Structure 1
Amino acid sequence: MQNKFDTLVPDTIFAAAERALERRFSGVLLPLPSYINRVYEMESCRRERFILKFYRPGRWSRDALLEEHLFTLECKAAEIPVVAPLRLANGTTLGETENGIYFAVFPKRWGRALEEGEDELWIRLGALLARVHTVGAARPAPHREILAPRENTLSETARLLSSGVAEGRSLDELSAVLKAILRVLLAKFRDGERIRLHGDCHKGNVLERPGEGLMLIDFDDMLTGPPVQDLWLLLPGPVEECTRELELLLRGYESLREFDRRSLDQIELLRAMRMIYFLDWNARQRSDRNFRERNPDWGSDSFWRREIASLAEQLSIINHNGIS
């Protein structure tokens, strides 16, 4: 995996961009922050600005990537403010470098980071998600992950515990708390509406465009799951501390689309699933040089003490909430 990204040198990037868009590019190549993929801002000789996203090899299949693109294109067709990929010279939205790395090209869109503010903002966010979910419910995405314990958390837990990232007492304690959480998830997670979701809908993936409104970006973690997943990630803190913001989100959402309020009691289960997913994903990236440089303490005894404590606290919250 890492070897393929090592081949992503400037010559390769410029060749891919010029072949994909059939135009010459200037020397502008600006790396942008991205935890998983490699993302660059580039400028054509016509002074057009583009964002090229090179997808991490081995993470998504071609079909899964095209399903992400289709979702954003459908949102765009419904006049929902998203940044959709451009159609390339090959007739699709997905390019491939000579070394087999998939990539997409997006128009550059300016916007400022979302700032938590007045009640109206939360209502607007809720309405935006309702529109996205209306599109998301229109068709399935068979090649994307399903957000449910049996479909992913079981395998993530097994993979994490067998990966060798923890040893001795840390492994024993990690195994005990993960298995306890898994038992609760399997017993209490309810099947309900499953639709295409943004999947990673935190405030960092929402831009405010002056004069235009809110824009949702980065559908890279698109998945199939319960609509509540996209709502709780926007909250600035634990649910019990954000009842006003949650109610405003729901007010905006329910103005355009029905919402099953019984699913709100699944939020802490979803938070636990996200914690496990994140640990498993990091464990799979631990040999990546960039990851090691950003996270030098990852996998140490002190790291696992903190993570095990956080998992135990989340389990306590779930049990305290008494989800039926």
Structure 2
Amino acid sequence: MNSLEHPYNSLSPDTVMDAVEARGFLCDYRLYPLNSYENRVYQVGIEDEAPLIAKFYRPNRWNIEQIQAEHNALRALRASGVAVSAPIEIEGKTLFQHNEFFYAISYKLMGESPEAGNLDHLYQIGELIGEIHHTSKDWSISERPYTPIISRIKKASQYILSTSFLPKALHNEYVKTIDDLILKATQTINDHKQSNVRFIHGDFHRSNIILNDGVMTALDFDDCRMGYAVQDLWMHLTDPDEKHAQLSELIEGYENFCSFDTRELSLIDPLIAERNILYTAWIAERWHDPAFPKLFPHFTAQQYWEQHLNDLQQIRNSWGNWH
């Protein structure tokens, strides 16, 4: 697709405000794009009221049933008293369509992200994740099924190899490194039962948490799906030298609500490899979106790919250090 033909090019400020006003709100023409790459998210000013957040889903990423499953999960968590940001229900609906875009509206939350590595914050984050997992312990979201880690690694790496982004000089070493990671990941994952898969946030880094007056609220369940519990914990481990202290706080907070199988800690290595590879494939897949060349101007430089390969090799060489 030519970047000029990308569907988000038709998402003008007037389109955003028309969509919000179609739900009964009166916009005051103050519109601010927020930091979201996958979707388009805006703070929309409302006359004589607090601003709202309007999220426009990327066309052709999720189908209606998958988006609605996310909304249903959020509404159920919120109804159970879990601190999550849920879409506003209007006339019995949370998902709306305007032109070719599906969108949702939510209330704006004030606050800031937790501090990376702050042990008190990690304890609270563990509590929040534990409460989410406890509330959803019996859920099975068929619209967002578990996809094996190996399958995700293979699909993403094969996509990277099918593009022209990876320099030819690095091709053979990249293939070898991916094969090494797949072998290590397969050996690790074979020790785990898929029956332990459960509902997870799926992308629970600290930017998806708002801290306000001591209360943490979980945001952006766009990647929610079935997976392993440790997936929602490991991204808060920011310093390998402090991993034991950080894990201790996360798990202690988590277990106030939900027991944690520490055997899952061995999955952190495959999950780190998966996220690294998927992130690079994601940029490549979205390159036709005109926002991405602006956001990642270094992506086409050989230095980016040398660093990416080096990161993968470091993951391979340090395998097992997280547990």
Q: 2:42 is matched by which residue type in structure 1?
A: Y
Q: Give the match's secondary structure for 1:242.
A: helix
Q: Indicate which of 6, 11, 23 corresponds to 1:8.
A: 11
Which residues in structure 2 correspond to 1:88-167 (within 5 Å)?
88-89=90-91, 91-98=92-99, 100-116=100-116, 119-144=119-144, 146-167=146-167
User: Could you tell me how far apart the structure 2 residues matched to 1:115 and 1:241 are?
Assistant: 15
Q: Which has the higher mean CA deviation after the structures are superposed, 152-161 or 27-36?
A: 152-161
Which residues in structure 2 correspond to 1:163-174 (within 5 Å)?
163-174=163-174
| Per-residue deviation, residues 79-100 of structure 1 (Å, max 9, x unmatched) | 11111001134x32111121x1
User: Could you tell me how far apart the structure 2 residues matched to 1:60 and 1:7 are?
Assistant: 19
Give the corresponding residue for 2:188. 188
| Per-residue deviation, residues 124-149 of structure 1 (Å, max 9, x unmatched) | 22121111011232221222252522
User: Could you tell me how far apart the structure 2 residues matched to 1:265 and 1:234 are?
Assistant: 16
Give the corresponding residue for 1:309. 310
Contact 1:147 1:226 in 2 (8 A): no
The size of the alignment, in residue pairs, is 317
User: Could you tell me how far apart the structure 2 residues matched to 1:128 and 1:322 are?
Assistant: 22
Q: Does residue 53 in structure 1 map to residue 49 in structure 2?
A: no
User: Could you tell me how far apart the structure 1 residues matched to 2:174 and 2:150 are?
Assistant: 20
User: Could you tell me how far apart the structure 2 residues matched to 1:185 and 1:117 are?
Assistant: 27
Contact 2:205 2:236 in 1 (8 A): yes
Give the corresponding residue for 2:256. 255
Q: Does residue 67 in structure 1 map to residue 75 in structure 2?
A: no
Q: Which has the higher mean CA deviation after the structures are superposed, 7-16 or 161-170?
A: 161-170
Q: Does residue 22 in structure 1 map to residue 24 in structure 2?
A: yes
> Scaled by the length of structure 2, what TM-score is found?
0.92
Q: 1:87 is matched by which residue type in structure 2?
A: E
Give the corresponding residue for 2:85. 83
Give the corresponding residue for 2:225. 223
Contact 1:146 1:152 in 2 (8 A): no
| Per-residue deviation, residues 33-63 of structure 1 (Å, max 9, x unmatched) | 1121111111222323100011111221111
Q: 2:53 is matched by which residue type in structure 1?
A: I
User: Could you tell me how far apart the structure 2 residues matched to 1:204 and 1:245 are?
Assistant: 18
Contact 2:109 2:210 in 1 (8 A): no
Q: 1:50 is matched by which residue type in structure 2?
A: L
Give the corresponding residue for 2:269. 268
Q: Give the match's secondary structure for 1:85.
A: coil
| Per-residue deviation, residues 181-231 of structure 1 (Å, max 9, x unmatched) | 122222321334111111111111111111x51111111121211001111
Q: Give the match's secondary structure for 1:286.
A: coil
User: Could you tell me how far apart the structure 2 residues matched to 1:132 and 1:255 are?
Assistant: 12
- Aligned-pair Cα RMSD in Å: 2.0
Q: Does residue 207 in structure 1 map to residue 201 in structure 2?
A: no
User: Could you tell me how far apart the structure 2 residues matched to 1:287 and 1:175 are?
Assistant: 25
Q: Give the match's secondary structure for 1:169.
A: helix
Contact 1:84 1:106 in 2 (8 A): yes
User: Could you tell me how far apart the structure 2 residues matched to 1:158 and 1:118 are?
Assistant: 38
Give the corresponding residue for 2:244. 243
Give the structure, 1 or 2, with the largest relative contact order (CA under 8 Å, sep 6 or more): 2
Q: Indicate which of 20, 44, 47 corresponds to 2:46.
A: 44
Report the CA distance shift for 1:322/1:223 in structure 2 as closer, same or farther (over 3 A): closer
> Scaled by the length of structure 1, what TM-score is found?
0.91
Q: Give the match's secondary structure for 2:103.
A: strand
Report the CA distance shift for 1:121/1:296 in structure 2 as closer, same or farther (over 3 A): closer
Q: Which runs of 4+ in 1 moved over 4 A?
A: 116-119, 320-323
1:118, distance to aligned residue in structure 2 (A) = 5.9
Report the CA distance shift for 1:260/1:147 in structure 2 as closer, same or farther (over 3 A): farther
Contact 1:68 1:222 in 2 (8 A): yes
1:315, distance to aligned residue in structure 2 (A) = 0.8
List alignment gaps of at least 5 residues for structure 1: none
Contact 2:44 2:52 in 1 (8 A): yes
User: Could you tell me how far apart the structure 1 residues matched to 2:25 and 2:289 are?
Assistant: 33
Q: Give the match's secondary structure for 2:55.
A: strand
